[in-house]
Amino acid sequence: MIGRLNHVAIAVRDLAAASALYRGTLGADVSAPQQLPEHGVTVVFITLPNTKIELLEPLGANSPIARFLEKNPDGGMHHICYEVDDIVAARDRLKQAGARVLGDGEPKIGAHGKPVLFLHPKDFSGTLVELEQV
């Protein structure tokens, strides 16, 4: 059901500083910041030969990333994203298997302009999982 690894997301307090670190210290290709108000984040993507790294900064006080950073003041890995061919079929299969889909269970449009869903970390060894339809 799952396809390739799309990205690993890392929550950061200062997106500009984190972007500069990846760009300057690691020599990475870092995208321009993109605000996603519907998700409460500002993101950049670091392109690697085999996947991407997504840096997430809170956008507003109610951001889920702000809450994550309260518990993890230095930031850290927030979620991992896998690609799926059909997000609704994947959702239905996962729910039937007992996995919990976060939110209202309906796909939302993510940073890449494609439908995404998040799965409860307690169902996946403590890791928040994002599915993105390709």
**Residues catalogued as catalytic:** 130
Rounded CA gap, 30 and 116, in Å?
A: 22
**DSSP 8-class letter at 121:** G
Half-sphere exposure of 15 (CA within 13 A, CB side): 22
Tokens of 48: 């690697």
